[in-house]
Amino acid sequence: MSAMLAETRPDEATAVVEAPRRERKRVVIIGGGFAGIAAAHALRHADAEVVLIDRRNHHIFQPLLYQVATAVLSPAEIAAPIRQLEVKQPNLSVVLAEVTGVDVASRTIEASSPGVGVRKIAFDYLVVATGMRPSYFGHDEFARYAPGLKNLSDAETIRAKILGAFELAATTEDESERARQMTFVLVGAGPTGVELAASLAHMVKVTLRGNFRRIDPSKSAIILLDAGNRVLPTFAEPLSRRVTRRLTKLGVKVMTGVKVETVDDKGVIAGGSRIPSATVLWTAGVAASPIPKLLGTKIDRAGRALVDPFLKVVDAPGVFVVGDAASVMQNEHPVPGVAQAAIQEGRYVGRLIAKELMGRKVKRPFRYFDKGNMAVVGKNYAVLERGWLRTSGFLTWLVWAFVHILSLPQLQNRLRVQHQWVWSYFTGQRSSRLIPEPPRTPGADTR
Ligand SMILES: Cc1cc2nc3c(=O)[nH]c(=O)nc-3n(C[C@H](O)[C@H](O)[C@H](O)COP(=O)(O)OP(=O)(O)OC[C@H]3O[C@@H](n4cnc5c(N)ncnc54)[C@H](O)[C@@H]3O)c2cc1C
């Protein structure tokens, strides 16, 4: 039985099966995020043909996406081309395609590339590392008005929405419309919501100061809503309280215990009251990509595949799920959906496959090593939790900045981000304040 995404069912006649060369086993990895790249890297010395498939040609450093959305960084500064991995790893091929079907029984996947059509690619081992996407908790109609933050195009959409709102506020003569344009609502007070709200607060107070004659951007309302009873629910309560105080000091209105009922073109209805807003941002929920479902295995409520302690899919030999797409339990707690967990899982599976290819059996199940949890709350302030250690403030912020610079995918990103941060720190300016022009019909306008 072959499972496919309904909306992308390909024309069977166009699909040609690419079989592995007989002398080498083929490992197909779907997803060039943190987990997929770690798996590919761990297979660099393996006697195998490694095929890494991603629908994007670039890897994104998601922890800094919020800085692209708030104009601190430009997209290229937090992304790196996946293809360049081929240069360093001779047994690796990178394929730009969207995987639309998986047939565990015949050990093939279907991948569709624009202009090329559908290809069936056979595998001996399959590693699914397809990550998550925003979830609107059954209210997909909200997506139209409240973009989520998952990729570079989301970040650019949000940036354009924020900057565009100030331009419209400065243009309109209508007081209530001006207030609506200058009200920003963020739904979801997890790390992304908190980081985005704090960065936006700094932008309206510092970066945009004096940029408009008719409006004062520092008078904007930034509202962070959450149905839960505190911000950063995955952190210890005292840290949540400190973060709430910090956000309030920055001018963010934190509203917890408030459920969003409607998001529309006028704003949101939350806790029974309407909040007029032209910019609603969705930083609340995530759900797994549809690929784990195609494996025919059990999935949890968020669509993640339930895997065994070796990250294998039960009853599907040689098939693994890693990173955000996997539901992994450790000491009766779920392994968190963070970059470190994805990297460790990808690396573990890559090494496991490399050992199996050498005829060795891996006896040690996956163990997640928690290096700690961090969130940044504007300039000079971050929180860190690692076991019993809980810190916050300027020194923690320095640690945050150092760790993030070192974790960027390539030297070029590290240098560019460092440069932008120093510039922004001392001048308060942000160098990526662009609202893209709408596409024009070729030839329609020659100006
Ligand atoms: C805004 C934001 C901020 C975050 N901040 C932090 C943070 O500060 N610290 C932290 O540790 N974690 C953070 N995270 C979480 C972290 O980024 C994820 O846990 C991590 O990216 C998971 O890695 P992954 O490889 O499983 O998935 P991803 O990195 O999401 O990669 C999945 C890849 O699969 C590809 N893909 C998906 N479906 C298909 C398909 N059908 N065909 C082909 N390719 C496909 C995608 O294009 C993508 O490249 C953040 C996440 C977001 C969204």
Q: What is the pLDDT of residue 447?
A: 55
Distance 262 CA to ligand 1 centre (A): 27
Mean pLDDT of the chain: 93
pLDDT of residue 439: 77
Confidence class for position 144, pLDDT limits 50, 70, 90? very high
Unique residue bearing structure tokens 């709430």 = 244
Q: Is residue 290 lining ligand 1, measured as CB closer than 6 Å?
A: no
Of all protein residues, the one whose alpha carbon is nearest to atom 3 of ligand 1 is 63
406-425 burial, b at 16+ Cβ within 10 Å, e below that, comes to ebbbeeebbebbeebbeebe
Q: Confirm or reject: Cβ of 289 under 6 Å from ligand 1.
A: yes
Residue 116: band (very low, low, confident or very high) from pLDDT cuts 50, 70, 90: confident
CB-based burial, 41-61: b 16+ in 10 Å, e otherwise: bbbeebebbbbbbbbbebbbb
pLDDT tens, residue by residue, 36-68: 999 999 999 999 999 999 999 999 999 999 999
pLDDT score of 20 more than 70: no
Q: How far is the CA of 326 from the centre of ligand 1 (A)?
A: 12
In single-letter form, the type of residue at position 144 comes to R
- Is 324's C-beta closer than 6 angstroms to any atom of ligand 1? yes
Nearest CA to 312 out of 39, 107, 40, 127 is that of 127
Ligand 1 centre distance from Cα of residue 234 (Å) = 18
| Atom from ligand 1 closest to the CA of residue 59 | 49
The pLDDT value recorded for residue 1 is: 46
Give the C-alpha separation, 243 to 224, whole Å: 12
Check: CB of residue 226 under 8 Å from CB of residue 244: no
Residue 421 CB contacts under 8 Å (≥ 6 apart), including other chains:
72, 401
Mean pLDDT of 304-312: 96
Q: Is 400 in the pocket of ligand 1 (CB under 6 A)?
A: no
Does pLDDT of 432 surpass 70? yes
Query: CA 108 to CA 101: how far, in whole Å?
Result: 8
Q: Which atom of ligand 1 is nearest to the CA of 31?
A: 34
| C-beta of residue 33 within 8 angstroms of C-beta of residue 151 | no
Question: Distance from the CA of 379 to the center of ligand 1, in angstroms?
Answer: 25
Please check whether residue 193 is in contact with residue 203, taking contact to mean a CB–CB distance below 8 angstroms: no
- Check if 337 has its Cβ closer than 6 Å to any atom of ligand 1: yes
**Closest CA to ligand 1's atom 51:** 62
Write down all domains in the chain, each with its CATH number in brackets.
3-55+97-131+289-357 (3.50.50.60), 136-284 (3.50.50.100)
Residue 346 alpha carbon, nearest atom of ligand 1: 25
pLDDT at 418 over 80: yes
Atom of ligand 1 nearest to the CA of 37: 25
How remote is the CA of residue 52 from the centroid of ligand 1, in Å? 15
The residue-averaged pLDDT of 421-442 equals 89
User: Edge to edge, what strands does the sheet with 260-264 contain?
Assistant: 260-264, 267-270, 273-276
> Which atom of ligand 1 lies closest to the CA of 5?
41
**CB contact at 8 A, 421 and 401:** yes
**Alpha-carbon dihedral angle through residues 146, 148, 152, 157, given to the nearest 10 degrees:** 10
* Best of 126, 338, 345 for a ligand 1 pocket test (most atoms within 8 Å of beta carbon): 338
Mutate which of 62, 151, 234 for ligand 1 pocket (most atoms within 8 A of beta carbon): 62
CA of 65 to the centre of ligand 1 (A): 11
State phi, psi for 258 to the nearest 5 degrees.
Answer: -120, 120
For ligand 1, is residue 292 a contact (CB within 6 Å)? no
Active site residues: 195
Q: What is the DSSP letter of 32?
A: -
Average pLDDT rounded to a whole number, residues 300-304: 94
Average pLDDT over residues 80-84: 96
pLDDT digits (tens, 9 = 90+) for 333-359: 999 999 999 999 999 999 999 999 999
Map residue 389 onto helix, strand or coil.
strand
In 3-state terms, what secondary structure has residue 442? coil
Q: What separation, in Å, do the N-terminal and C-terminal C-alpha atoms of the chain show?
A: 56
383 lines ligand 1 (CB under 6 A): no
**Token representation of residue 96:** 């730009």
* Separation of CA 293 and ligand 1 centre (Å): 17
Condensed to tens digits (0 to 9), the pLDDT of residues 161-198 reads 999 999 999 999 999 999 999 999 999 999 999 999 99
Q: Is the CB of 199 under 6 A from ligand 1?
A: no
What's the pLDDT at 8? 46
Q: Is 111 in the pocket of ligand 1 (CB under 6 A)?
A: no
**Does the beta carbon of 30 sit less than 6 angstroms from any atom of ligand 1?**
yes
Whether residue 10 is predicted with pLDDT greater than 50 in this model: the reply is no
Instruction: Determine if ligand 1 sits within 6 Å of the CB of residue 34.
Output: yes
